[in-house]
Structure 1
Amino acid sequence: MSASRGQARFGVLVPFTNSNLEPDMALLRPDGVSLHFARMGGYDEDEIPDADQMHALGAADLDEPLRLLTGVKPDVVVYGCTSATLTHGPAFDRDLAARIAQASGAKTVTAAGALVAALTALEARKIAFASPYVPTINDMAIHFLGQMGFDTVHRADFEGTLDNEGQGALSPREVFALGQRADHLEAEVVVLSCTDMRSVEVLEDLEQALGKPVISSNQAMVFQAMCLLGLRAPITGFGQLLASERS
């Protein structure tokens, strides 16, 4: 691992309209890890982030943002959009991770793959699902997770259609309420999907209110990145997933 400053370097690919991933990563940053970001496009900021827009982002050329990001020689590259690969399916998600790893020489995490890794670590099979996405993307996300062996017993769609700015502008209180609406007695874990939704700030309180683990895209990405790099120290204040020492 890179040793010029601390234990490791996280390189993060961020959708160019995303306003919350970088602040969240700063909150979640493990001790001794430096954070490095590059922005990626491939979608229209003025359009509703529907399945077509997110499909286009997933298929966008990453050569230039990856070239710029790998200038710092990150130990892990994090692909910071969940819906971009949820709309393509598990095979595409795995292939994208492999292509990023080959191009960067770093270990690779995708947001969608990180949700799978987190649910697997928590040994959950029945989940509740919530996001700010349009319902069609939620359908695709639930199908994706179903293909990976997770049964969505309840979901909460956001009431109304949010543009790119609107997704990022949701308050933690609104995210908390969305998570509450998603929960179900049979759900073992509540999933809050979207790297631009302010979920990280409510994870602890929502877990206490619901009495079960809650995972978010950004929390799950940090968890998987730490596992890949052998970073074991707990991170407290952001849910059960990060609070235990990793094996």
Structure 2
Amino acid sequence: MTALGFLYPGHAAEDDYPRIEQLLGSDIRVELVHTDIGEDAHRVDTLRGAGSPERLAAGLEELRLAGAEAVVWACTSGSFVHGWEGAHEQVRGLALAAGMPASSTSFGFVHALREIEVRRVAVGATYPDDIARLFADFLRAGGAEVTAVRGAGITTAAEAGAWGERELFALARAADSPDVEAVLLPNTALHTVAHIPALEKELGKPVLTANQVTAWQCLRLTDRRVNAPELGALFTREPVVQV
């Protein structure tokens, strides 16, 4: 049995995680702890505050008692707003406080792109344009070629969590173009897990979503590989050997 630990900000699309656990199989357990986000607003200052060391550390004891073997800060914007170096400092501090391997959703996207050997991508983000551009900058720092960024202007996690299939597919279509190899949909407040196979079928390419890559990144930290086609192309490929 492998226990995966997640620190999830507030309440929005956390029901994606029981679904992920079901799709991963009987020997994977998902442990999720909610963190305090303060003000629900997609602004740089509030997002940095949501991912502060104090707020993240508050949920770690519960994950340790649950037997988590690794922990991921399940928040895209609460990590990339710190920039490339700042996001590294954030997860280093988290790993030290947790006493176990740690990462964040933003790094999950970067490592997932390397896993599926994709560089040229488009971003469809629920965020306001300025926050969406910061995510694109983070991806570029990680080696991706971001050709297009489509922001939806949503300013709260609560609003993103209320989106359904229609809005999700419209965002993915608006972001996509024939020249990109994958479409990325950040924001762990967005319900995506039930729709990944249909999204990939419609677009004809891999689709990486925030809760999907968060789970994959935590598995990666525990050296586990699970074949789960219902979680998309990311969960069906052989590992890429990094030189």
Q: Does 1:28 align with 2:23?
A: no
Partner amino acid, structure 2, of 1:73:
G
1:56-67 correspondence to structure 2 within 5 Å: 56-61=49-54, 62-67=56-61
Check whether the contact 1:234–1:245 (CA below 8 A) recurs between aligned residues.
no
Partner of 1:4: none
Partner of 2:12: 19
TM-aligned CA deviation for residue 42 of structure 1? 4.0
Secondary structure in structure 2 of the residue aligned to 1:237:
helix
Question: Alpha carbons of 1:233 and 1:42: their partners in 2 closer, same or farther (altered >3 Å)?
Answer: closer
Partner of 1:37: 32
Partner of 1:95: 89
Equivalences, count = 236
Secondary structure in structure 2 of the residue aligned to 1:124:
coil
Partner of 1:72: 66
The structure whose RCO (Cα within 8 Å, separation 6+) is larger is 2
Q: What CA distance in whole angstroms lies between the structure 2 residues aligned with 1:35 and 1:183?
A: 31
Question: Alpha carbons of 1:236 and 1:165: their partners in 2 closer, same or farther (altered >3 Å)?
Answer: same
Give the TM-score normalised by structure 1. Answer: 0.89
TM-aligned CA deviation for residue 44 of structure 1? 0.9
Which aligned runs of 4 or more in structure 1 are off by greater than 6 angstroms? none
Q: Does 1:49 align with 2:42?
A: yes
Question: Alpha carbons of 1:49 and 1:60: their partners in 2 closer, same or farther (altered >3 Å)?
Answer: farther
TM-aligned CA deviation for residue 34 of structure 1? 1.6
Match of 1:190 among 183, 195, 198: 183
Give the TM-score normalised by structure 2. Answer: 0.91
1:90-129 correspondence to structure 2 within 5 Å: 90-129=84-123
Check whether the contact 1:156–1:179 (CA below 8 A) recurs between aligned residues.
no
Check whether the contact 2:185–2:208 (CA below 8 A) recurs between aligned residues.
yes
Check whether the contact 2:5–2:218 (CA below 8 A) recurs between aligned residues.
no
Secondary structure in structure 2 of the residue aligned to 1:20:
coil
Partner amino acid, structure 1, of 2:80:
L
- Range 187-196 or range 96-105, more displaced: 96-105
Check whether the contact 2:53–2:90 (CA below 8 A) recurs between aligned residues.
no
Check whether the contact 2:105–2:210 (CA below 8 A) recurs between aligned residues.
yes
Q: What CA distance in whole angstroms lies between the structure 2 residues aligned with 1:161 and 1:197?
A: 11
Check whether the contact 1:207–1:214 (CA below 8 A) recurs between aligned residues.
yes
Partner of 1:211: 204
Instruction: Give unpaired runs (5+ residues) of structure 1.
Output: 1-6
Q: Does 1:141 align with 2:135?
A: yes
Instruction: Give unpaired runs (5+ residues) of structure 2.
Output: none
Q: What CA distance in whole angstroms lies between the structure 2 residues aligned with 1:95 and 1:71?
A: 25
Identity %: 25
Question: Alpha carbons of 1:120 and 1:245: their partners in 2 closer, same or farther (altered >3 Å)?
Answer: closer
TM-aligned CA deviation for residue 235 of structure 1? 0.7
